[in-house]
Structure 1
Amino acid sequence: MILPRSLQVRLALGLSVGLALFWAVAAGAAYTVLRQEMDRVFDSALQETAQRLLPLAVMEIIDREPEDVLRIAPVRSHHELLTYIVRNQAGSVVLASHDADPAIFPQSAHDGLSSTKTHRIYAESALQGSLTIFVAEPWDVRSKASHEAAEALIMPLLVLVPLSFGGVWLLVRGGMRPIRRLCSEIETRGGGDLTPLGSDRLPSEITPIATAVNHLMARLRRTLEAERSFTANSAHELRTPIAAALAQTQRLLAETKEGQTGARARQIEATLKTLARLAEKLMQLARAEGGRLFAKTPYDIVPVIGLVCEDIGRTQSRPDRLDLDLPSAKVNSRVDPDALSILVRNLLENALKYGAADEPVVVTLTQDGVLRVVNGGPVIPAERLAQLTRPFERASTEAEGSGLGLAIIDAIARGAGSNLELKSPATGRADGFEAVVRLAGV
């Protein structure tokens, strides 16, 4: 038997089936006792009837000829449930009720109760055995009464089972409400929210689960904070020596412009710039994975995106390469402005760096808060596309970069309750690359 996966259904079904079985057993026991009591009452009625009729029958018969058979005429027409006859010592019928069939009665019998296939019979003798009265009751009468009693016990069971299932379901559902509330609290949290769960109003059976989850989240929080702190501190501490080394290298370049020393100084300068960019990206990644990605109140993100695009455009040799399409109306969001700036900057840098140099980068923000950045370039295979949000993964090994841009974007999007969607080819094109992030409503 395959049990349902729902704990509510299992509890409701189990309790309902248990209640139905208990009722069935109780009904069976009650029916057995009732049948025994009915037989005792019916037998007592046979005996009482015979003993009441016998003196009257003797008075009717005593002054008549033995060969005469007297049929007791009914006061009004009716069907007799109890029939009787009186036999003399020779076994002849001398008195009978109007519906009595002598064939169903035995020729002789000992006083007391006896049974045939069709009737229950009681015999009682008088006048030293010269007269015997037989009172018969059909078994059908008792069977009908038994069936009616059984139906009376079974009918409540047929109504009780669905009603009990519904009642138990409501009780179980009400009892499971704290569990659903706990699950909802966990589900609605952002990826970086590892604060303890409230366990004040939970039942005592569920409190250990919430406590265990809180302990697990505390361990995760300490581990993640240690990793993020190490990454951020390391990147921050590296900035000063890298900047100092870069300044010294640039001074060396100014003093030595030709020869092998100048070429090596330029290589050192390029390497230090790469290290500086990597340190900056590591700090951004630590910021993205560190939580606190929501502003206190919603604000218009259109100016923020416009400023970032304008700032990046000034650093490009071709400022017109950015094709910006922002709505004139406000687009409100709760994504932290600093986190949003990091997200947009990395999207644009990634598109400008890896996109086709002779094609524009199209930046579009819709009124419902969907940010799209599209650049030209060859199609990226689907299996490769799924790996680009991993740290240090790049679509092209020829282009310079740390491979952290999309990882930072993905971390910010997930931390803000959204997601980063990558497409290649871009929508409506046969080639290109498209990144989509929903910013409104988060």
Structure 2
Amino acid sequence: MTSLRTRLFVILIAATGLIWLSAVAWIYLDSRSKLEHVLDTRLQEAAKMVHSLVDTGRMPETAIAGLPGATVEPAFYERQLSCQIWSLDGRLVARSSGAPGSQLTDQAAGFSDRTVDGERWRVYAVEDAQKGIRVMVGDRIGLRHGLVNDLIAGLLAPALLIAPLLGLLIWLSLGRGLRPLATMAAELKSRDAEDMRPLAAAEAPIEVRPLADALNGLFDKVAAARRHEREITAFAAHELRTPLAGLKTQAQIALATTDATIREGALRQILISVDRTARLVRQLLTLAKLETEQQGPATGRIRISGLLAEIIDSTPPAAGIDVELDPGLAVLEVPGDRESLALALRNLHENAIQHMPRGGTVSWRPAADGRGVAVCDQGPGIPQEELGLVTQRFYRGRHKSPTGTGLGLTIVDIAARRIGALLVLSNRTDGPGLQAALLWNEGSLRR
């Protein structure tokens, strides 16, 4: 299992190490350049000082002539410097302790890099034609590099000693910084399955607050889903109790009577109760699916007339009730999920048939403003004060159907919102009956 604390620790240590290495590289290059300049300046000054001493008579020509190959050790420069004094005719006049016997450079004057006796040297030469001498002062390039390396080692040594302490501090700081997550996890772990209290998001750090808000939102959704489940279960138990009791009563009547007419009537009531119970169970399952299932992807544009024809063909015909499809529906296409749209249209169609008197007509037509589809029946309609209530679960209103469940328009309303449509209910103005319309935004339709 991946640890967030470990991942952050590795990232921070790697970033810190990279910054340190970059700083060391920069210091190394910068220090080397500046040190080279300082050491070159020292070579130049040392050579000029030796030349000055010879020039002032501290090493007169007679002494120089009398000391061929003599070794001198001037005290005015550091021991790692090597000095040679050569006559212009190629004789070694004097040299410092540790200086090679071979000529440091064949260049008359200025700086040069030479290899002498297998070692690399940085040399500065001063030539005096009047005195007939050439002064050469040099130091080993390896010593120069050693100075730079010693400088870098001096910088790295404290860093290496501090690194474990820094790592420990980073690890402890991460633990303290991630403590709100651990606290939140401990609080959630201690809760039971029914505890949906929101977390104290306002007290959480800014970085943790989005997680707390998301969890609180999830708690609200779960609580709402459970509340809906309890409501559906309670309503279902209440609604099923009556038809089941009626079924039992009618079955007892059919069994007890010897009158064929009474038995036939009881059996017909059993069939009606079975149909209503089956429809109630089907709609309960549909409602539960709509409220818990994620919305499906849009399947493109759907032609209303074709889908309505399928729904009408699959719906058992009602005696004495006609169904009309307006030709204008043939060119009406709407966006959305086909399954959700079919669910909404099927429940609208069944609802219209249930409230339709014998001899009436269910009419499907384009909505008046062309933004969707409408179905009109010739039933009693819905009182104006109940139009906003009939989409609530199990609300059946004043003019309820014997086979109604109070769930049909609820299912239509939920399915319509899933496909981006709006369910609009209104009583017809051209006669008795209800008009139910599914309306879309004008920009989403194509005529």
Q: Which has the higher contact order (CA 8 A, sep 6+)?
A: 1
Report the TM-score, using the length of structure 2 for normalisation. 0.49
